[in-house]
Chains A and B, each alone.
Chain A
């Protein structure tokens, strides 16, 4: 019986033109727009224009100051203006510089102050990160093995060269990629509306069709499971389609782990479906209200993962890191991102693990809600 019901459920999904439209057209259009606007933006704004920054320090030749100078001369990446702290803040406020680096003369600690979030700020941030990493290495080696200082100095020099060469485009591309990952996440989460319709076909007090099924001579679970399986299958296909469209048609380099990306798409789709299903079985609101809830959730979730505003995930990471651990869209996007940038799969499986836990929690909650089999009214 499972496969017959599964088959019919697939028919149902495939024949619903509206669902097809949203799931196929929407990612295509949005992805293309992304590529057209931001693809060009990244090259123009970042590669060909120096980022004006201010450097504030008591002493002229701080280690970081040296690095900045080097960057200015070698890579034409930044345009440095040295000023005292107050003046530097003033420059930032007036929009003359995009960021202010402050270096503590004694400890060598550097902080970055920015006025807004954007591609440029991300690049500045990544310069700072590189520096801090190099510095940590440097002092560690120095403490444990004074002879290693020489080697570390070489490494620092390498870092600088690396920054100069690759990191610029990479950092900016990362931002754009984040947008694409969020787009894939959104496609998965669009499954919420399908999950919702699985719920309305299931809850006897929601539709007459559900009531009809509830009085049939088959167990409710035997009807529900094929439905959910079919909806997850379809959503996975939609998500896989957007991945293929992005990489093969738009030529976006999403990463190398193709198989694992599809695994994310599958788990992400299941997550989307279960979110919709839970919304569907909670309370007695009309279908329209619940549909609105699903779409709203999808948009908010995608927003916080950086769909509209690419550095959003980083901002959330700074102010509410817990949110990033549970926000479905962020988890999906981040797992894809992790595949691309980390050498080991740890971070990837961390995200996937969180998703699986979420799915289980949603499933349990839904199950508790649909466990009763009689209704007060239908």
Chain B
């Protein structure tokens, strides 16, 4: 297993604004690498640097072991790109678009025909071959964008938020498709601000904020980095401040929030947290409604590390 992408101390400024601040990342062969971050965190900028589209101020970007340049066509031939903004020809049909882009990589006519067909099926566009992009719905357009990027069966696939505006069903299909491409040997870089997606398919994740990589690892590792091990929600009316104080004294509990009859208790790792809490409510004879417990999400990771919500800024 080799290293596919190596980004070292990458600095990119847009005039005053620092979009990438000494970014350091490595992507290993065969993985699905998630780049997670809110709007404006620098995901697209990082990808454009990997593709040698942008000048950058400092640092280096190596792809397949070589510093990539705009004219590194041999390297670029091995990369499949799905850019954030849909990029297709308005005047060409679905099939022609896929053929156009595939043809920029694959010269052999017969092979190309087969690849175009496979990409059409892969993205579920069989019924729309002769459609012009204008006639496609937003989700179908996204799928066409993906098909144009991956038709030539690249070794490295770079996808920048490919599932924006795609309905959940198609989204799942796309995610499954990506996993299948990965099983067939493609390394994938996937950016998104939907943490569920990233959590679902990515083997390793880097969390970006303001151009810096603030956390890095598998989703388990990331969750292990933060204090929260479990979040317990409990519906209870009329709790008094001293109740909250007492709850906070319970084992493992480190943060208590009470808002509009809903109690949120954060516990660090450890077992039987829920039992302890329910015990307390029994002892005090306080009635309660719904109770549920959840494991931390990547959002919690982001929240703890940066002090802000990933989701809020992302929608």
Residues of chain A having any CB pair with chain B under 8 Å:
1, 4-5, 8, 11-13, 15-16, 204, 207-209, 211-219, 223, 373-378
Q: Whole-angstrom distance between the alpha carbons of A8 and B14 in the complex? A: 35
Residues of chain B having any CB pair with chain A under 8 Å:
14, 48, 51-55, 70-71, 73-74, 76-79, 81, 83, 85-89, 91-92, 96, 100-101, 103-105, 107, 148, 152
Take A1-B103, A208-B86, A378-B54 as given contacts and tell me if A12 and B91 are in contact as well, using a CB distance cutoff of 8 Å: yes
User: Does the CB pair B89–A12 fall under 8 Å?
Assistant: yes
User: Does the CB pair A216–B89 fall under 8 Å?
Assistant: no
Q: Ordered nearest first, which 10 A-B pairs have the shortest CB separation?
A: A217-B77, A373-B70, A212-B87, A208-B85, A15-B91, A216-B104, A217-B76, A215-B51, A208-B87, A218-B104
Residues on the A chain within 8 Å of B91, using CB: 11-13, 15-16
Residues on the B chain within 8 Å of A16, using CB: 91
Chain A residue with Cβ nearest B51: A215
User: Does the CB pair A376–B105 fall under 8 Å?
Assistant: no
Residues on the A chain within 8 Å of B55, using CB: 374-376
Chain A residue with Cβ nearest B56: A374
What are some 21 contacts across the A-B interface (CB < 8 A)? A11-B92, A13-B91, A16-B91, A209-B88, A211-B53, A211-B87, A212-B87, A216-B101, A216-B104, A216-B105, A217-B74, A218-B73, A219-B71, A219-B73, A223-B104, A373-B71, A375-B55, A376-B55, A377-B14, A377-B54, A378-B53
Take A216-B104, A219-B73, A378-B48 as given contacts and tell me if A8 and B53 are in contact as well, using a CB distance cutoff of 8 Å: no
Q: Whole-angstrom distance between the alpha carbons of A214 and B70 in the complex? A: 8
Residues on the B chain within 8 Å of A214, using CB: 53, 70
Task: Output the least CB separation between B280 and chain A (Å).
Answer: 56
User: Does the CB pair B79–A375 fall under 8 Å?
Assistant: no
User: Does the CB pair A211–B70 fall under 8 Å?
Assistant: no
Take A208-B85, A377-B14 as given contacts and tell me if A215 and B92 are in contact as well, using a CB distance cutoff of 8 Å: no
Take A216-B81, A373-B71, A377-B14 as given contacts and tell me if A209 and B76 are in contact as well, using a CB distance cutoff of 8 Å: no
User: Does the CB pair A217–B105 fall under 8 Å?
Assistant: yes
Q: Whole-angstrom distance between the alpha carbons of A13 and B101 in the complex? A: 18
Residues on the A chain within 8 Å of B100, using CB: 4-5, 8
Residues on the A chain within 8 Å of B85, using CB: 208, 211
Q: Whole-angstrom distance between the alpha carbons of A82 and B105 in the complex? A: 82
Q: Whole-angstrom distance between the alpha carbons of A216 and B148 in the complex? A: 11
User: Does the CB pair B53–A204 fall under 8 Å?
Assistant: yes
Residue from B48, B70, B104, B152 whose CB has the most chain A CB atoms within 10 Å: B104
Residues on the A chain within 8 Å of B79, using CB: 215, 217
- Contacts A12-B89, A214-B70, A377-B14 supplied; 5 other A-B pairs, CB < 8 Å: A12-B92, A207-B87, A211-B53, A211-B83, A216-B101
Task: Output the least CB separation between B56 and chain A (Å).
Answer: 9
Task: Output the least CB separation between B3 and chain A (Å).
Answer: 21
Chain A residue with Cβ nearest B78: A217
Take A8-B92, A218-B73, A218-B105 as given contacts and tell me if A374 and B83 are in contact as well, using a CB distance cutoff of 8 Å: no
Chain A residue with Cβ nearest B13: A376
Residues on the B chain within 8 Å of A375, using CB: 53-55
User: Does the CB pair A212–B54 fall under 8 Å?
Assistant: no
Residue from B74, B88, B91, B107 whose CB has the most chain A CB atoms within 10 Å: B91
Residues on the B chain within 8 Å of A212, using CB: 81, 83, 87, 101, 148
Task: Output the least CB separation between B5 and chain A (Å).
Answer: 14
Residues on the A chain within 8 Å of B76, using CB: 215-217
Q: Whole-angstrom distance between the alpha carbons of A53 and B87 in the complex? A: 67
Chain B residue with Cβ nearest A19: B91
Task: Output the least CB separation between A219 and chain B (Å).
Answer: 6
Residues on the B chain within 8 Å of A4, using CB: 100, 103
User: Does the CB pair A208–B83 fall under 8 Å?
Assistant: yes
Residues on the A chain within 8 Å of B73, using CB: 217-219
Chain B residue with Cβ nearest A8: B100
Chain A residue with Cβ nearest B47: A215
Residues on the B chain within 8 Å of A218, using CB: 73, 104-105
Task: Output the least CB separation between B162 and chain A (Å).
Answer: 13
Task: Output the least CB separation between B309 and chain A (Å).
Answer: 28
Q: Whole-angstrom distance between the alpha carbons of A136 and B100 in the complex? A: 67
Chain B residue with Cβ nearest A15: B91
Residue from A209, A211, A217 in contact with B104 in the complex, judged by beta carbons closer than 8 Å: A217
Residue from A204, A209, A211, A378 in contact with B89 in the complex, judged by beta carbons closer than 8 Å: A209
Task: Output the least CB separation between B123 and chain A (Å).
Answer: 16
User: Does the CB pair A374–B52 fall under 8 Å?
Assistant: yes
Q: Whole-angstrom distance between the alpha carbons of A259 and B199 in the complex? A: 68
User: Does the CB pair B107–A1 fall under 8 Å?
Assistant: yes
Q: Whole-angstrom distance between the alpha carbons of A374 and B100 in the complex? A: 23
Q: Whole-angstrom distance between the alpha carbons of A35 and B293 in the complex? A: 85
Chain A residue with Cβ nearest B149: A212
Task: Output the least CB separation between A13 and chain B (Å).
Answer: 8
Chain A residue with Cβ nearest B96: A8
Q: Whole-angstrom distance between the alpha carbons of A302 and B89 in the complex? A: 32
Q: Whole-angstrom distance between the alpha carbons of A4 and B88 in the complex? A: 16
Q: Whole-angstrom distance between the alpha carbons of A215 and B81 in the complex? A: 8
Task: Output the least CB separation between B153 and chain A (Å).
Answer: 12
Q: Whole-angstrom distance between the alpha carbons of A44 and B76 in the complex? A: 69
Chain A residue with Cβ nearest B145: A212
Q: Whole-angstrom distance between the alpha carbons of A301 and B74 in the complex? A: 45
Residues on the A chain within 8 Å of B53, using CB: 204, 211, 214-215, 374-375, 378
Task: Output the least CB separation between B48 and chain A (Å).
Answer: 6
Q: Whole-angstrom distance between the alpha carbons of A207 and B52 in the complex? A: 17
Task: Output the least CB separation between A123 and chain B (Å).
Answer: 50
User: Does the CB pair B89–A376 fall under 8 Å?
Assistant: no
Residues on the B chain within 8 Å of A5, using CB: 100, 103
Residues on the A chain within 8 Å of B51, using CB: 215
